[in-house]
Chains A and B, each alone.
Chain A
Amino acid sequence: MKGLFTLAFKLLVNDRGKFAALIIGITFAMFLMVQLTSIFAGILQKASANIINLGARVWIMDPAVNNPLNSIPLPDTVLAAVRSIDGVAYAVPVYSGASLVKLNNGTYQPVTVIGLDDTTLVGRPQLLEGKIEDIYGENAFIVIKDQEYVKLGNPTLGTTFELNDHRGVIVGIAQVTTSGLFGMPTLYTTYGRAIQYIPTQRFTAAYILVEPKSEADIPHIKAQVAALGYLALTKEEFIHRVSNYYKFQTGVGTNILIMTVTSFLVGLSISGQTFYTFVLENLDKFGALKAIGAKNRELIYMILFQAGFTGLTGYGLGVGLSSLLINIAVRKVPGYAGTITFFNLGLALMMLLIIVCFSSYIAARKIIRVEPFEIFRG
């Protein structure tokens, strides 16, 4: 079989024009598919940034909440009720909102403000500079050093700003796992200071973060919270809910899907057409091979090998090119949302397999149908 594959390989690569067209077509299609799905994965990850960064195992919210930006404030009675549920180790409120910061140069910059529970500071970020206890100091804020950090003028410890006519001072510089989707810098402070500085509604807690005593307690907690008329979700469920929101309730998912399908169709049509032309041009030769004694399945193996080799080469080049571009973009472009996940790679590989199978099928069908008798008839 190795000899047959060598023969198939030489037939493929020696036709340099078609081979180049196939490789370029599939590489381009794979590049687009991986790029687009990676951007979507990046968007979803950034959309769930607060959930990932705060890291609570169970989140309690109003049932109408479907993404972290549109939280609906919860009454304090809910916090008290949750704390009384069996299986809850602790429950704390968290504030999440947006505001405008006036920088020392007089410009305004929108920011996301996270208010951590004053007592426990549950969900605090990992500090790079400063001490966590300084958050209790007067007007204290911790700034997150991510891609948006420069928008605050690269603040250092002691840098001051105004937030809603209140003075603010940077007492810590921290890092988080994921930065937000909308390109806004993030400031952390205490819950008490957040609701004092930023105008709020009657209720103030965006979410209640719960630590269950054990995994087994989670279903009970969820049931009890549901009985109160609210929704309790695990971290993973909340991320999934946010993903679903962006996939199905905004145009983002649909548009990315359309572009991905377009890339797939480009790859499919280039590969299918080129393979079909390749087989058509050599149809008499394949007929001659059948007359000599080649079996249909051997010719199909050859076609599958050619399609598989071309496909995997194009896949490797496409993924490599996409990874390179995403890597550069993440370093150089602020707020770039692109992350390659195994799911992206698997999805692109699955689409590639469809392209390979389709191309092989239309080529093999032609070869199976050719009658060696036709060779004698010229």
Chain B
Amino acid sequence: MAAVAIQAENLDKWFGEGEARTYAVRQVNFTVPFGQMFYIVGPSGSGKTTLLSMISGILRPNGGRVVVAGEDIWRLSPDALATFRLHTLGFVFQDYHLFPRLTTLENVAIPLILQRWEWSKAMAAAQEMLAVVGLQDRGELRPMQLSGGEQQRVAIARALVAKPTIIVFDEPTASLDGATGKMIIGFVKHDILNDHRCILIVTHDNRIFPYADQMLHMEDGAVVKLDTGGSLEK
């Protein structure tokens, strides 16, 4: 296991060419070790979602490199990169993106199904993961029958079920009230994060800032400040 979970070096991303070229991310550098909760924060349009996409192996950067769990991910072929994401990263999307026609249990099992697990084994593992997030009795319900907080926990269970080492959260509290948001992030910090995991969160919700171990502040595509443990305590 590499001690460094994520390493971003001189990351650039622009859209358009010539005079129309617009930088979404410019010369971003940071390192996240395992065992940390790393926040990317900033106002809308600051480039934090673009940065998250490049780190997650979803959006190819124009320059620089990203090393995730020891793998220089943008050197991988598209298929290898998809396989890498499937086994190494877990995603919790802002709108959860749960399939409304599948049960909660089936939604959670999706990453295992994509890893070609047998259906029954995948369901058993998904049931265990639902128990971890406290929804063991909600497996047969459809997502629409759950509250927003419960849907969030289903999305977390889906992100965790394949036991990835890096979990990516996109605006995890955007659809939740303050108390539920804090409860979810507290759960992630205390029950999900460990020495072999890294949590990456994109947010602009300052109510959950106290849970961060490092916080990268972005503005206009560039890093304006990196808060580490010491500065966060202040």
State the A residues within 8 Å of B (CB).
Answer: 1-4, 6-7, 10-11, 14-15, 282, 284-285, 287-295, 298, 372-373, 375-378
Contact between chains at B94 and A285 (CB < 8 Å):
no
Q: Tell whether B91 is near chain A: CB-to-CB under 8 Å.
A: yes
Contact between chains at A3 and B91 (CB < 8 Å):
no
Contact between chains at A293 and B58 (CB < 8 Å):
no
Stretch at the interface among B65-73, B95-103, B191-199, B219-227: B95-103
Question: A7 contacts which chain B residues (CB < 8 A)?
Answer: 102, 106, 110, 113
Within 8 Å by CB of A376, from B52, B98, B122, lies: B52
Question: A375 contacts which chain B residues (CB < 8 A)?
Answer: 93, 97
Between-chain CB contacts (< 8 Å), 29 pairs = A1-B116, A2-B118, A2-B119, A3-B112, A3-B113, A3-B119, A4-B113, A4-B114, A6-B119, A7-B102, A7-B110, A7-B113, A10-B101, A10-B102, A11-B101, A285-B98, A288-B91, A288-B97, A292-B85, A292-B86, A292-B110, A293-B86, A295-B79, A372-B58, A373-B58, A375-B93, A376-B52, A376-B170, A378-B95
Closest to A288 in B: B97
CA distance A67 to B84 in the complex (A): 70
Q: A292-B114, A376-B93 are in contact. List 14 more A-B contacts (CB 8 A).
A: A1-B116, A3-B116, A11-B101, A14-B101, A289-B114, A293-B83, A293-B85, A293-B89, A293-B114, A294-B86, A295-B79, A375-B97, A376-B49, A378-B95
Question: A293 contacts which chain B residues (CB < 8 A)?
Answer: 82-87, 89, 111, 114
- In the assembled complex, the CB of B84 is this many whole angstroms from the nearest CB of chain A, namely 8
CA distance A295 to B78 in the complex (A): 9
Question: B87 contacts which chain A residues (CB < 8 A)?
Answer: 293
- Most chain B beta-carbon neighbours within 10 Å: one of A3, A14, A288, A377: A3
**Nearest 4 CB-CB pairings of A with B:** A293-B86, A288-B97, A14-B101, A3-B113
Provide the main secondary structure of the chain A interface.
Answer: helix
Contact between chains at A373 and B59 (CB < 8 Å):
yes
Q: Tell whether B104 is near chain A: CB-to-CB under 8 Å.
A: no
Closest to B116 in A: A3
B25-75 with Cβ < 8 A to chain A: 49, 52-53, 56, 58-59
Question: A10 contacts which chain B residues (CB < 8 A)?
Answer: 101-102, 106
Q: From known contacts A291-B56, A291-B85, infer whether A284 and B114 are also in contact, taking CB-CB under 8 Å.
A: no
- Most chain B beta-carbon neighbours within 10 Å: one of A3, A282, A293, A377: A293
Q: Tell whether B187 is near chain A: CB-to-CB under 8 Å.
A: no
State the B residues within 8 Å of A (CB).
Answer: 49, 52-53, 56, 58-59, 78-79, 82-87, 89, 91, 93-95, 97-99, 101-102, 106, 110-114, 116-119, 122, 170
Question: A3 contacts which chain B residues (CB < 8 A)?
Answer: 112-113, 116-119, 122
Question: A377 contacts which chain B residues (CB < 8 A)?
Answer: 49
Question: A378 contacts which chain B residues (CB < 8 A)?
Answer: 94-95
Question: B52 contacts which chain A residues (CB < 8 A)?
Answer: 376
Contact between chains at B111 and A292 (CB < 8 Å):
yes
CA distance A298 to B59 in the complex (A): 20
Closest to A287 in B: B97
CA distance A287 to B96 in the complex (A): 12
Question: A298 contacts which chain B residues (CB < 8 A)?
Answer: 114
- In the assembled complex, the CB of A350 is this many whole angstroms from the nearest CB of chain B, namely 32
CA distance A1 to B114 in the complex (A): 8
Question: B49 contacts which chain A residues (CB < 8 A)?
Answer: 376-377
Closest to B87 in A: A293
- In the assembled complex, the CB of A52 is this many whole angstroms from the nearest CB of chain B, namely 54
Question: B59 contacts which chain A residues (CB < 8 A)?
Answer: 373
Question: B170 contacts which chain A residues (CB < 8 A)?
Answer: 376
- In the assembled complex, the CB of B156 is this many whole angstroms from the nearest CB of chain A, namely 13
- In the assembled complex, the CB of A2 is this many whole angstroms from the nearest CB of chain B, namely 7
Contact between chains at A288 and B86 (CB < 8 Å):
no
CA distance A290 to B78 in the complex (A): 11
Question: B94 contacts which chain A residues (CB < 8 A)?
Answer: 376, 378
Question: B122 contacts which chain A residues (CB < 8 A)?
Answer: 3
CA distance A289 to B114 in the complex (A): 9
Closest to A19 in B: B101
Within 8 Å by CB of B110, from A14, A289, A372, lies: A289
- In the assembled complex, the CB of A34 is this many whole angstroms from the nearest CB of chain B, namely 32
Question: B101 contacts which chain A residues (CB < 8 A)?
Answer: 10-11, 14-15
CA distance A343 to B12 in the complex (A): 61
Contact between chains at B110 and A373 (CB < 8 Å):
no
Closest to A15 in B: B101
Contact between chains at A291 and B99 (CB < 8 Å):
no
CA distance A42 to B99 in the complex (A): 49
Question: A2 contacts which chain B residues (CB < 8 A)?
Answer: 118-119
CA distance A14 to B117 in the complex (A): 22
- In the assembled complex, the CB of B124 is this many whole angstroms from the nearest CB of chain A, namely 13
CA distance A292 to B164 in the complex (A): 11
Closest to B78 in A: A295
Closest to A18 in B: B101
Contact between chains at A291 and B58 (CB < 8 Å):
yes
Contact between chains at A282 and B99 (CB < 8 Å):
yes
Closest to B79 in A: A295
Question: A376 contacts which chain B residues (CB < 8 A)?
Answer: 49, 52-53, 58, 93-94, 170
Question: B95 contacts which chain A residues (CB < 8 A)?
Answer: 284, 378
